[in-house]
Amino acid sequence: MLRLFVALPLPDGVIARLSIMCAGLPGAGWVAPGNMHLTLRFIGEVDESVAEEIDSLLAHIEVEPFSLELDGVGTFGEGTKARSVWAAVKPSVELTHLQAKVESAVVRAGLPPEGRKFTPHVTLAHLSRPHTARLEAFIAGNSLFQAGPFEIPQFTLFESRLGKGGAAYIPLVDYPLFVPGTN
């Protein structure tokens, strides 16, 4: 069985900027810089044959390269119930279009549709019993964070291998974005 997800890798310069923010928040399990990405679709555990079908369907996605910008930070959950801290992605029609095509490919491979609305973000930390005042100060102190625009030339199928030190994300296949009809 393989534990898979589809995501956008981030440029090194953006990862470096995000990493600078990752400190000073008690109860935060910071995401390692090498694991920072923008998830398009979490797939979960599938066997090799389903993984091959997903790969084949993802390889046929035709989307032009586009740019993204990060703009601000936020949380999933509030106060002591906050579960994670993330960097927000500026609304992008192109990103929404790509994510819909990825979702369609995964469903055509036989998996159920994603039940949650797509909320593009880059997870910075997972939280365990956050101190509300410190969390609010962190969000306020980083609310003006911006990065980009940066180019998105591809999307990637990743394997998530769980281990004692947390998850390791291994890129399996890169799918280049291109102008339809030119490839």
Q: Dump pLDDT digits (tens) for 125-140.
A: 999 988 899 999 999 9
In a domain? residue 182: no
In a domain? residue 73: yes
In terms of residue numbers, what domain contains 65?
2-176
Residue 167: predicted pLDDT: 85
* Residue-averaged pLDDT of the chain: 95
Tell which wins on pLDDT, 182 or 18: 18
Residue 182: predicted pLDDT: 66
Residue 140: predicted pLDDT: 95
DSSP string, the chain: -EEEEEEEE--HHHHHHHHHH--S-TTEEEPPGGG-EEEEEEEEEE-HHHHHHHHHHHHT-----EEEEEEEEEEES-GGG--EEEEEE---HHHHHHHHHHHHHHHHTTPPPP-SPP--EEEEEEESS--HHHHHHHHHHTTT-EEEEEEE-EEEEEEEEEETTEEEEEEEEEEE---TT--
In a domain? residue 85: yes
Residue 151: predicted pLDDT: 97
Tell which wins on pLDDT, 54 or 162: 54
pLDDT tens sequence across 60-81: 999 999 999 999 999 999 888 9
Taking Cα atoms as reference points, which of 37, 49, 48, 31 lies closest to residue 6?
37
Residue 85: predicted pLDDT: 97
In a domain? residue 183: no
Q: How many domains does the chain have?
A: 1
Tell which wins on pLDDT, 100 or 183: 100
Mean pLDDT of 137-158: 96
Per the DSSP assignment, residues forming a β-bridge with 3 are 45
Percent of the chain with pLDDT over 90: 89
In a domain? residue 181: no
Residue 180: predicted pLDDT: 67
Cβ-Cβ contacts under 8 Å for 64 (sequence gap 6 or more): 94, 177, 178, 179, 180
Q: Report, as residue numbers or ranges, the catalytic residues.
A: 37, 121
Structure tokens, 6: 């589809």
In a domain? residue 75: yes
In a domain? residue 48: yes
Question: Which domain CATH number covers 119?
Answer: 3.90.1140.10
Residue 122: predicted pLDDT: 98
Per the DSSP assignment, residues forming a β-bridge with 163 are 166
